[in-house]
């Protein structure tokens, strides 16, 4: 099933380069990425326990699209465009919350049921002959897998979440994911770089010994990357109990306490499960996270981050979770700086290419998936903006017999 960091590159002559620098600074490519990646690939929006009651909702924005999931009176979760059919206002303004009785648009007061149907318009006497049945909220594809909710704005190459993430299912199931309880709402961190620079830094452990003192103290060199399939990248770090020199690590490894039923080989394991192109789950003994890089501009991204705890959490586990978050926060800030340096280097006259180690093969794998969907990034220089989408489509068509399996 899995291979180790070094086994992951059995052919030592793999291409160690990265995407061309222009791909990180090109407006037309970002527009293409919105259409070919972010609208057509699954995005995690949250967990069913983010919306436990009828009228509860959670939202998700990417590019020009804005989505919401709301739980209906019948207990079903449904995804819709967060867009009023009257004049396009958001129908819910917050990142998450609860609607009492109905969804009421804040612009002119159109009222929607939790199943998305239009219940009524304000001043109905001003709408002779209106057909309310044609003006419900526009639905979005939603799939629930292991308690997590995924949305997709348009059909794409990934198939169902259940099939696509099947290689992850046995390990996820051990963490009892359906029972997870959200710790607050998703939170957001801005990074002034292209989303791919954030992903590149996050996608390898070669930098951990130098760049992340706390992570290195926690799992040292017991960190490996694994390949579970196209678009699926996994990394695992094993730590020793009662170890570490730093205050946060020493106390975390002392207090860590797995949930009942978790097999022994996961008691001291931090594991990361990627979902192409931009989603990562983190599974730990005390918590599960997900995070995703969302492009906002060509040189600006938002990292959306959600934390879930186990329902049986003890006081000791809560403390361990706090310490885990502290280690993770330090790591994130260190990665932020590395993302900025990597990204700005691509505008330098000295930037030539990446020269990736075997320990960075997940970066290359991610780039290879991007190359399948966006073969235009194989060009050494960018096509004119007006030709970006056309050139990409032509290159994809020319790749006869080579299916996109991103």
Cα distance between residue 56 and residue 96, in whole Å: 8
Find the binder of ligand FES among 108, 162, 300, 399 (CB under 6 A): 108
* Residue 281 partner contact from Fe ion, ligand FES, none using kind-dependent CB cut-offs of 5 to 8 Å: none
Work out whether 92 is an interface residue with ligand FES (CB under 6 A).
no
Among residues 148 and 273, whose Cβ is nearest to Fe ion? 273
Window 138-177: contact mask with Fe ion (x via CB under 5 A): ----------------------------------------
Find the binder of ligand FES among 66, 78, 86, 185 (CB under 6 A): 86
Find the binder of ligand FES among 40, 49, 89, 296 (CB under 6 A): 89
* Residue 155 partner contact from ligand FES, Fe ion, none using kind-dependent CB cut-offs of 5 to 8 Å: none
Cα distance between residue 324 and residue 330, in whole Å: 10
Cα distance between residue 287 and residue 259, in whole Å: 9
Work out whether 87 is an interface residue with ligand FES (CB under 6 A).
yes
Closest contact distance (angstroms) between CB of 55 and ligand FES is: 18
DSSP string, 238-273: E--TT--SSHHHHHHHHH--PPTT--GGGTTEEEEE
Work out whether 110 is an interface residue with ligand FES (CB under 6 A).
yes
43-47/103-104 β-pairing: unpaired
Cα distance between residue 371 and residue 157, in whole Å: 14
Alpha carbons within 13 angstroms on the beta-carbon side of residue 213 total: 6
Instruction: Give, rounded to a whole angstrom, the gap between the first and last alpha carbons of the chain.
Output: 19
Cα distance between residue 362 and residue 232, in whole Å: 9
Closest contact distance (angstroms) between CB of 211 and Fe ion is: 6
Closest contact distance (angstroms) between CB of 302 and Fe ion is: 18
**Number of residues binding to Fe ion, judged by CB under 5 A:** 1
Closest contact distance (angstroms) between CB of 212 and Fe ion is: 6
Among residues 107 and 305, whose Cβ is nearest to ligand FES? 107
Among residues 42 and 226, whose Cβ is nearest to Fe ion? 226
When CB distances to Fe ion are compared, the closest residue is 335
Q: What DSSP state is assigned to residue 34?
A: I
> Are 167 and 274 in contact, with CB atoms under 8 Å apart?
no
Among residues 82 and 342, whose Cβ is nearest to Fe ion? 342
Work out whether 109 is an interface residue with ligand FES (CB under 6 A).
yes
Which residues partner with 292 through β-bridges? 279, 304
**Number of residues binding to ligand FES, judged by CB under 6 A:** 9
Cα distance between residue 143 and residue 300, in whole Å: 29
C-beta contacts of 378-382 below 8 A and 24+ residues apart: 379/20, 380/20, 381/20, 381/22, 382/22, 382/23, 382/26, 382/28, 382/29
CA 73 to chain centre: 29
Work out whether 105 is an interface residue with ligand FES (CB under 6 A).
yes
Scanning 100-108, 146-154, 171-179, 368-376 for contacts with ligand FES by CB under 6 A, the matching segment is: 100-108
Closest contact distance (angstroms) between CB of 201 and Fe ion is: 6
What are the angstrom distances between the C-alpha of 108 and each of 29, 85, 141? Answer: 37, 11, 27
Among residues 217 and 335, whose Cβ is nearest to Fe ion? 335
Closest CA to 156 of 311, 344, 373, 330: 373
Among residues 70 and 105, whose Cβ is nearest to ligand FES? 105
Work out whether 335 is an interface residue with Fe ion (CB under 5 A).
yes
Tell me the three state secondary structure of residue 190.
strand
269-275/232-238 β-pairing: antiparallel
Scanning 24-32, 220-228, 321-329, 335-343 for contacts with Fe ion by CB under 5 A, the matching segment is: 335-343
Cα distance between residue 281 and residue 306, in whole Å: 10
Scanning 17-25, 101-109, 274-282, 354-362 for contacts with ligand FES by CB under 6 A, the matching segment is: 101-109
* Residue 335 partner contact from Fe ion, ligand FES, none using kind-dependent CB cut-offs of 5 to 8 Å: Fe ion
Closest contact distance (angstroms) between CB of 338 and Fe ion is: 7
The residues of the shown chain that bind ligand FES, judged by CB under 6 A, are 84, 86-87, 89, 105, 107-110
The residues of the shown chain that bind Fe ion, judged by CB under 5 A, are 335
């Amino acid at each position: 099933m899995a291979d180790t960091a070094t086994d992951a590159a059995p052919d030592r002559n793999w291409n160690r380069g990265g995407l061309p620098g222009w791909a990180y600074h090109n407006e037309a490519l970002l527009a293409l990425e919105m259409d070919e990646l972010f609208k057509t690939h699954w995005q995690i929006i949250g967990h069913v326990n983010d919306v436990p009651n009828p009228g509860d909702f959670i939202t998700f924005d990417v590019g020009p699209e804005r989505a919401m999931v709301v739980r209906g009176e019948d207990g079903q979760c449904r995804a819709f465009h967060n867009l009023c059919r009257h004049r396009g206002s958001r129908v819910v303004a917050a990142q998450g919350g609860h609607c009492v009785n109905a969804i009421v648009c804040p612009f002119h007061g159109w009222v929607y049921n939790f199943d998305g149907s239009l219940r009524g318009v304000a001043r109905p006497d001003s709408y002779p002959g209106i057909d309310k049945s044609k003006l419900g909220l526009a639905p979005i594809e939603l799939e629930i897998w292991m308690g997590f909710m995924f949305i997709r704005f348009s059909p794409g190459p990934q198939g169902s979440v259940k099939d696509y993430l099947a290689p992850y299912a046995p390990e996820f199931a051990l963490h009892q994911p359906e029972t997870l309880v959200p710790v607050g709402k998703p939170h957001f961190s801005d990074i002034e770089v292209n989303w791919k620079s954030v992903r590149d830094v996050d996608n390898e452990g070669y930098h951990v010994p130098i760049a992340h003192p706390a992570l290195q103290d926690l799992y040292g060199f017991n960190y490996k990357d694994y390949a579970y399939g196209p678009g699926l990248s996994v990394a695992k770090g094993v730590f020793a109990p009662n170890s570490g020199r730093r205050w946060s690590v020493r106390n975390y490894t002392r207090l860590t306490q797995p949930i009942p039923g978790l097999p022994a080989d996961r008691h001291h394991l931090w594991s990361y499960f990627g979902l192409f192109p931009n989603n990562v789950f983190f599974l730990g003994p005390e918590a599960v996270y997900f995070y995703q890089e969302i492009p906002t501009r060509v040189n600006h991204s938002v990292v959306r981050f959600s934390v879930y705890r186990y329902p049986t959490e003890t006081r000791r586990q809560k403390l361990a979770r706090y310490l885990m978050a502290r280690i993770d926060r330090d790591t994130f800030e260190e990665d932020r700086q590395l993302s900025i340096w990597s990204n700005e280097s691509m505008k330098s006259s000295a930037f030539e290419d990446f020269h990736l180690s075997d320990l960075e093969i997940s970066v290359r794998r991610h780039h290879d998936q991007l190359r399948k969907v966006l073969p235009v990034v194989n060009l050494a220089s960018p096509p004119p903006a007006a030709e970006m989408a056309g050139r990409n489509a032509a290159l994809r068509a020319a790749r006869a017999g080579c299916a996109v399996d991103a």
